[in-house]
Structure 1
């Protein structure tokens, strides 16, 4: 009888276990700029992950690494994520801000997220070549260097296979269309699998 009750209790606890939280800390590329929020790749990721995970999209259009770092402590405290996906840096690059400052901000975001008990994934962004060879090279290398420094999985390029296709962007040629969002998710999905299946 007691064994049966314990078994029933165990089954009930597993059925009603709260989903783990995956926090997306990003900019307009993750916030669904110019499209419906349910079409954005974080929403598609929620559908793919299912009920065991809750995706909290804390992305804000126009966000920089400094802004993300400022908002992070409150997000960590409120949502207590098991996983944090960081998609920041594009606006730093587009504004020509110092790469060293962006790198320090991202490094601190990684450290604070880990200190809060979350596993961290970093998503890479690349700049158009018209920003100058030296700056773009340094900017591109930043994500690989951070991954190596913090022993993170290799950062996927968010717009891999998309950046070369103007028709996959809104008229501003900066933000992917709704039709491109499944491809964006496909680029990120291997990293998501690595972080959520441990």
Structure 2
């Protein structure tokens, strides 16, 4: 057998092994998926009993379809994209998620953090998660217009732009159907109520399902 033929056969064998490895990873992703939620007080359940917080409701909802699903909540009240960026590498190494939900940025906006810094932090987190083998979902936030139209609109579209550039899943506004609805927000006007938790889970669930089941 010629060296050329041997190289071809070796390449085909390696390709077959790679394809089998990918199939095995995909099968495990569908049967034993792990979702990592990196967020702030909205994901940490500020003011909400633990058993009624939306990440737990999401886990319960998705387990009807994925019985072995694990949801890891790595959310800290007051956290920013800078904090999430510093925490994420260790979280990825420890939990090895199939899907990573990045639900940060609201506290950055409330502090008037430059959009360029928010973008850089989110971009770094997306890259770190994707390089680890995890799919990514961005959970967008929106802020009141009193921050000025340029900042308000720039912040809103930031998540959409990053999702398009880096091919991530997207929840355009995590509080969609919640923020302007009576009884859905606590008195501070920032945190969802207990009644809003199922809606938060419903907002996130379709993107999680899509990424878990995609080839």
User: TM-score scaled to structure 2, two decimals?
Assistant: 0.81
Once the two structures are TM-superposed, the CA of residue 139 in structure 1 deviates from its matched residue by: 0.6
Q: Which residue of 1 aligns with 2:128?
A: 112
Return the alpha-carbon distance in structure 1 between the equivalents of residues 129 and 50 of structure 2.
Answer: 25
Equivalent pairs, count: 183
1:45 to 2:58 alignment:
yes
Return the alpha-carbon distance in structure 2 between the equivalents of residues 166 and 146 of structure 1.
Answer: 31
Q: Mind listing any 5+ residue stretches in structure 2 that lack a counterpart?
A: 1-26
User: TM-score scaled to structure 1, two decimals?
Assistant: 0.88
Alignment of 1:29-108 (within 5 A): 29-50=42-63, 51-108=67-124
Return the alpha-carbon distance in structure 2 between the equivalents of residues 194 and 67 of structure 1.
Answer: 28
CA contact (8 A) 1:156 1:188 kept: no
Return the alpha-carbon distance in structure 1 between the equivalents of residues 51 and 74 of structure 2.
Answer: 14
> Which among 159, 165, 187 is matched to residue 149 of structure 1?
165
Q: Which residue of 2 aligns with 1:11?
A: none
* Higher Cα Rg, which structure: 2
Once the two structures are TM-superposed, the CA of residue 196 in structure 1 deviates from its matched residue by: 1.6
Q: Secondary structure at the match of 1:172?
A: coil
CA contact (8 A) 2:35 2:98 kept: yes
Runs of 4+ in 1 over 4 A off after TM superposition: none
Partner deviation per Cα, 1:120-171 (whole Å, 9 max, x = no partner): 1111100011111111011111001101110223433111111112421111
